Amino acid sequence: MVQPRALLLCLSSLALVVAFVVVSRMADANGGDLPPEIRLQGFVRAEEGRLHLVVRIPLVLLQGLDLPKWGPGYLQLAGIEEQLKAAAAAAARDIVLFEGGRPLAPIRSETQISLPSDRSFDGYATALSHVQGPHLPVDTKVFWNQGYFDAHIEYPVRSRTDFALHLKISPGLGQRIKLRVQFLPMSGPSLIYELSGGAGRISLDPRWYEVAWIFARRGFSDVFVVDRLVFLVCLVAPFRQFWSLLMVVMALTGMQAVTSIADAVGAAPEVRWLPMLFDSCLGAAVVLLAVENVVAPNLRRRWFVAAVVGALGGFGLGHLWAEQRQFAGAHRLVSLASFNLGVAVGEVAALLVVVVVLRLLFAHVLGARLGVIIVSAILGHMGWHWTLDGAHGLRHATSAGVWTAPTVAVAWWLLMGLLVGAAAWFLPERFDTPADPVWPHAARIE
């Protein structure tokens, strides 16, 4: 009985090893042996009745087409034309061009195999001339994953400007694929885009209202991240007077808009330790508000904290806008204004959601006082860890020293936040007089 069981165990182990090897090889065949980043280059040129796509693709991406090879892995350049036509068709399926929302179908293509040393894609004219030029000699040694596949694909069009591009990437490649594409319209300056997998369809020459919608939506969504929501909950938890809370949130939003615009237009310095400073200050503000919620909440102090946090947080929002500004086309000011408008609308929407949820939670589950204590304890604990993590990152970021000029420039913007926060003490007395207080007379405790 022992020997059959041992034999069965050995066979099972062998089958498991074989299955593991097969799965590993399948994973390699589906992108496991690809480099961590693969960069493509392209040009889209609009002409009367025609749209031209000239694209350069590393040969490593064509391994699924099984191009003919010889020797240790060199491409068989003689008789490879049919496989290159299939590669051009695959490129047109993965880089989809649209006109007025309608996908375009190519009518003609030209292909070329290029050496790794070729630099013809520095410009559209040289790239097009290279693709249309003579092919490499058939005895040229091009290893199957070390050169380029270049293609010129032509599309019939009716309009002059209403074009879009969608980079379709298989899920296995994820963010590995990066496409740098330059759009050359019939009139006006050229536009350059850096796209990655998952970027979706982008308009190559967007209209102002398209830009406004894209950036307003992005600004709105950026409000609903965990750290900003936690700060907002701590900010409003003990209070019921919505309009006073709205003024506090508007002070926060206003300072964010000022510093984000300053950062976006280059009026603020590029300081690499600024994100860590914001993380530590935001965590410290959450801890401070959580303690104050239990002891003596005061809306005037909330105004002050919101203004200072907004002054720092705006630099982060400015960087978020800068990451997306390539999609603004020629409408940079529209994108900046729309982004900040989206942030403002998002802050108001988040305030409404937080107030409604807290009221339901306190009224039907925890009760007002106990609810504020529990919520503040949980969020204060999170803020404490954020403070420690941010301080740790800040210490490493400033280990090489802190430059005086950028620090002074940041200090000037923070001074503006302090002045806006100090204006809370000049507001009317009814500003922080609670109509439905959680802590009786707490708003008047200094």
Q: Which of 407, 377, 395 is nearest to 294 (CA)?
A: 377
**E strand or H helix at 109, and its extent?**
strand 108-114
3-class state of residue 112 by DSSP: strand
The proportion of the chain whose per-residue pLDDT surpasses 90, expressed as a percent, equals 14
Q: Which of 316, 261, 311 is nearest to 412 (CA)?
A: 311
Give me the helices (H) in 362-403, please.
368-397
Tell me: the pLDDT tens digits for 168-198? 876 566 667 888 999 998 887 888 888 876 6
What are the tokens at 242? 């919505």
State the angle between helix axes of 226-236 and 242-264 in degrees (0 to 180), rounded to the nearest 10.
Answer: 140
3-class state of residue 273 by DSSP: coil
Q: 29-33, 221-225, 412-416 — which one is most confidently predicted on average?
A: 221-225
Averaged confidence pLDDT in the chain: 79
In the predicted structure, residue 151 carries a pLDDT above the cut 90: yes
Lowest mean pLDDT among 25-34, 97-106, 124-133, 304-313: 25-34
Lowest mean pLDDT among 85-94, 144-153, 224-233, 276-285: 276-285
* Cα distances (Å, whole numbers) of residue 283 to 150, 223, 384, 415: 51, 17, 6, 20
Quote the pLDDT of residue 252.
Answer: 87
Quote the pLDDT of residue 266.
Answer: 67
In the predicted structure, residue 227 carries a pLDDT above the cut 50: yes
- Distance, in Å, from the CA atom of 154 to the CA atom of 108, rounded to the nearest integer, reads 5
**E strand or H helix at 191, and its extent?**
strand 191-196
Domain boundaries, the chain: 35-205, 212-444
- Distance, in Å, from the CA atom of 159 to the CA atom of 49, rounded to the nearest integer, reads 7
Residue 210, phi then psi, degrees to nearest 5: -65, -45
Q: Which of 270, 252, 237, 394 is nearest to 312 (CA)?
A: 252
Q: What angle do CA 133, 135, 137 make, to 5 degrees?
A: 140
- What totals of helices (H) and strands (E) does the chain contain, helices first? 11, 12
Quote the pLDDT of residue 30.
Answer: 43
Q: Which of 76, 67, 68 is nearest to 139 (CA)?
A: 76
Tell me: the pLDDT tens digits for 101-150? 899 999 999 999 999 888 999 999 999 999 998 988 888 888 888 889 99
What are the tokens at 438? 């959680």
Quote the pLDDT of residue 285.
Answer: 87
Quote the pLDDT of residue 45.
Answer: 93
In the predicted structure, residue 1 carries a pLDDT above the cut 90: no
Quote the pLDDT of residue 127.
Answer: 93
Tell me: the pLDDT tens digits for 35-91? 677 889 999 999 888 999 999 999 888 877 878 888 888 888 888 888 889 899 989
